[in-house]
Amino acid sequence: MALGIGTLAVAGPIAYSIQPFWVYLLVQMLVFALLALSLDFIFGYAGLLSFGHAAMFGAGGYAAALLIREVTASALVVLPTAMLVGVLTAALIGWLSVRARGIYFAMLTLAFAQMIYVATFTDLPAMILDTAMITGGDNGLIGIQLYELFGIDFRNRLNYYYLTLGIVALSLAGLVRLANSPFGRVLQGIRENEERIEFLGYNVRRYKIIAFSISGGFAGLAGGLYVPFQSVAEPGLLHWTVSGELVVMVLLGGMGTLWGPMLGAGLIVFLEDRLGGVESWEIILGSIFVAVVIFAPRGLAGMIIAVRNDPRAALDNAKRALRNYLQEVRG
């Protein structure tokens, strides 16, 4: 983990010296890595598949945009507030959803997230409060300025990159510690056998709501980092397609590892940018996903761990997976 953060710290100035755009792309990769990290905490450890994380991501982003426009651009105020809004949004969705299990829980989170998306798209809060504009409707909120923090000029994208990298590194360290704490062990027990954990006397519903709220807080924090950098908060941040893509990032990277989904998120953001100008680029991206599923069913993290532990066995497993896949295709 420390090696990866150190590598990114060195990569920033190098990328900036080559072309400033690469720093822009690196910031995007870090933001979505944080978002994937937040989902993996609840999905990989508690077994709760959420299709509603875009709601917390967008809520944190809109909270940041409104605070910057109306109150202050101080990062020390806005970022914790974005995180708090993510926590509260997740707590509400979680409280209404955790009684359901499996795919039913996933569908409930999707439904509530889409309700929030529609409310944002139509600027329902402004209609209720009878004001001119709050969310900006389908146009969103544009012209959001960058943060202010100790006189640092964040118009220099490299400075914003280090701000994002620092926050992502602290978030990863905090969630790793939490995942390996007694609280995290209970979440893993819930994932493996919910009835047994309940029989042992734990309040499973409370643990789920708390874990979902923590996860939502980090999703809101990701939104708070993303919106000022893009200078716009728009309803697309809350759309279900963001949540769907996030699930793909977690599965591609390797759920339950925390760092794996971050790697998967970075890879997807990079490939979407690089392949975006290619005709039918979705087919190429889909083919890469299929290859990972066939040769690395535990994701990129599982593949890296397998190669590090025993390269020869990892190669043999890949060959075996290909043979099995071809046999199934042939029937």
The 10s digit of each residue's pLDDT in 43-72 is 988 888 888 899 999 999 999 999 998 888
The 10s digit of each residue's pLDDT in 176-211 is 999 999 999 999 998 888 888 888 888 889 999 999
Provide the β-strand partners of residue 74.
Answer: 148
Provide the β-strand partners of residue 142.
Answer: 232
Buried b (16+ CB within 10 A) or exposed e, 176-185: bebbeeeebe
Q: Distance between CA atoms of 299 and 197, rounded to whole angstroms?
A: 28
The 10s digit of each residue's pLDDT in 220-266 is 999 999 999 888 888 888 888 888 889 988 988 888 888 889 988 99
Q: Distance between CA atoms of 236 and 167, rounded to whole angstroms?
A: 24
Cβ neighbour number for residue 48 with a 10 Å cutoff: 25
Spell out the domains of the chain, with CATH numbers in brackets: 2-275 (1.10.3470), 280-331 (no CATH)
Buried b (16+ CB within 10 A) or exposed e, 295-311: ebebbbbbbbbbeeeee
Read off the pTM.
0.89
